[in-house]
Structure 1
Amino acid sequence: MDYTNNYTTTSHGAQAGLSTGGGFLPGSQTADSPSTTNKRSYGKDTLRPVTLRQLIDAHHPHPDAEYFLIDGSEATQVTFVGQVRNISTQTTNVTYKLDDGTGTMEVKVWIDAEAFGQNEGEEEGGGGKASKVVVEQGYARVWGRLKAFNNKRHVGANIIRPIRDYNEIQYHLLEATAVHLHFARGPVELLEQAKGGAGGGGGAHSNGGGAGGAAPAPGQLPPGTSLSARKVYQAIRNTPQSNEGLHVQQIATAGGLEMTEVLRGGEELTNLGVIFTTVDEHTWALLEIEG
């Protein structure tokens, strides 16, 4: 599957959800941001499955940009699943706080009084109806756009609906991982070709993903890995730990590193698929395939 410029479908009816929901809820463009926000993106919208950590780590390509990059690619519409930790209802919007295990994010659904009255009998859709079917501590799927206001990020939601099939949670995480690896290491087809043509040069074409894009062998990292990342890797690998891994402070102590160096190295190792977060975003463990 080609995710590069046109990722528009996800499992569990993500694309269908966008069509049947009618795009933006009334007021979602004007109340959430100036009319010019993300203007350049509306003509070429894509839909990408993500984790909340990816939204937290997304960045602007330059100071004046009104859009975000994830894995170096422009992200317009995103979809994710998470557990609803809190619901707050205001006059103009309902704010949901979602947690997917990688981070937390506020999701705002703008309320239109007329739409609320018209859709009151519907199960899903409409600005205010979602608050009646999405409940605290339940799971929900969101479609929307990442936005920033006063240096705080949130998602302006087009649609939010409850999760009824809990398999959808795992399916989504697998799908988000597959798309992340596509952008971080290259298409599967190219990686397979690199492995097949291999010899000594297969890994050189795999966007830093190691030999032919495969996970690095235990104790080894791809050529070009920074010194900070190598120090963090060795600190995690050589320090006794539980199945939950090590907190960043423990890693800094074990490796004799500054916290900024640990965070920088950890981000690089995460992008390489070498470490992953466990109990929280600052606790890491190694992801190794024993040969």
Structure 2
Amino acid sequence: MSNGNPYYGGGGGGGGGFVPGGSPFGSQESPGGGRKSRANQTLRPVTIKQIIDAAQAHPDSDFQIDGVDVQAVQFVGSVHNQSATATNVSYEIGDGTGYIDVRQWLDSADDEAGKTSGIEQDKYVVITGNIKVFGGKRHVSAQHIRPVTNHDEVYHHLLKAVYVSQSFRNPNGASGGAGAGAGAGANHSDYAAAAPAAISANDYAHLPPLQRKVMEVVSAEEHDDGIHVSLVSRRCGTANGEEVMEAIESLMSEGMLFSTIDDLHIKAA
């Protein structure tokens, strides 16, 4: 990952970065002995399932993901429904892990024209905002929504969400791989189904090592929907996440993998 990435140390225009090892968010001990993070000063990459499952001790407290306070979140998903009123635009967004309502408030009709530009049905968007609850239902109040112009950003965001989550769950082996995640009690359902049984590597012996590993992981998944690409990356162990995505794209171009319920779930041909 590049040091210029806003989710890692040295990026983000001076905000606290997500740094492997030690304490992401610059965590501090609260008077009660728990972790207290600079939640309002950082932007956390997440999946929709993480938003839905985020804990809240009481209605006035910050939400927590992986036991760490979080307020500003960023996620990537596709637009499924869209509606507008005089004061806000609402979207239903899905990312392969779940669906959530997103609301963006408007100051005027001209504001709507500017804020909704390029946001279309079934297109991927990047959303930055805060987790809110209204009428007993959780949603995201969006500060900014923009269309995805390079589809690699979808996969890259998921890898960042996995990386940051792993850094909290396993601070002594921040990025880790499949083994590190299991040792830290990582919840694989944040990204896909439970771990399947391993299969023999003999069927893919002719492939380069990383592509062979990807095929072993994907072929072992028995669910009809296939496996989420972020979980494939995690199960490939110590391999670089971007290299895993390149291997997946290469295998798809060769017809050995195909997408299923969306662009983020894949299955062996």
Give the TM-score taking structure 1 as reference length.
0.51
Percent identity (aligned): 33
Alignment partners' CA distance in 2, 1:64 and 1:134 = 32
Alignment partners' CA distance in 1, 2:39 and 2:181 = 37
Q: Is 1:171 aligned with 2:168? A: no
Q: Rate the CA distance shift 1:104–1:223 in 2: closer, same or farther, 3 A.
A: closer
Letter of the 1:245 counterpart: E
Unaligned runs of 5+ residues in structure 1 are: 2-7, 19-40, 117-126, 193-208, 217-221, 226-231, 248-269, 281-291
Query: Which residue in the other structure is 1:9 paired with?
Result: 6
Q: 1:130 aligns with which of 91, 107, 115?
A: 115
Query: Which residue in the other structure is 2:48 paired with?
Result: 52
Q: Larger radius of gyration, structure 1 or 2?
A: 1
Query: Which residue in the other structure is 1:90 paired with?
Result: 85
1:152-203 deviation per Cα after TM superposition (whole angstroms, max 9, x unaligned): 11110000000001111111011111001001111436x88xxxxxxxxxxx
- Divergent runs of 4+, >4 A: 222-225
Q: Displacement of 1:132 after TM fit?
A: 2.7
Q: Displacement of 1:65 after TM fit?
A: 3.7
Contact 2:170 2:180 in 1 (8 A): no
1:227-255 deviation per Cα after TM superposition (whole angstroms, max 9, x unaligned): xxxxx979x659xxx865359xxxxxxxx
Contact 1:111 1:128 in 2 (8 A): no
Alignment partners' CA distance in 2, 1:50 and 1:79 = 6
Alignment partners' CA distance in 1, 2:185 and 2:128 = 37
Alignment partners' CA distance in 2, 1:224 and 1:180 = 11
Alignment partners' CA distance in 2, 1:164 and 1:81 = 12
Q: Is 1:157 aligned with 2:152? A: no
Give the TM-score taking structure 2 as reference length.
0.54
Equivalent pairs, count: 179
CA RMSD across the alignment: 4.1
Contact 2:40 2:70 in 1 (8 A): no
Q: Rate the CA distance shift 1:89–1:69 in 2: closer, same or farther, 3 A.
A: same
Unaligned runs of 5+ residues in structure 2 are: 16-36, 187-192, 199-218, 225-230, 236-258, 262-269
Contact 2:86 2:109 in 1 (8 A): no
Q: Is 1:188 aligned with 2:173? A: yes
Q: Displacement of 1:42 after TM fit?
A: 9.3
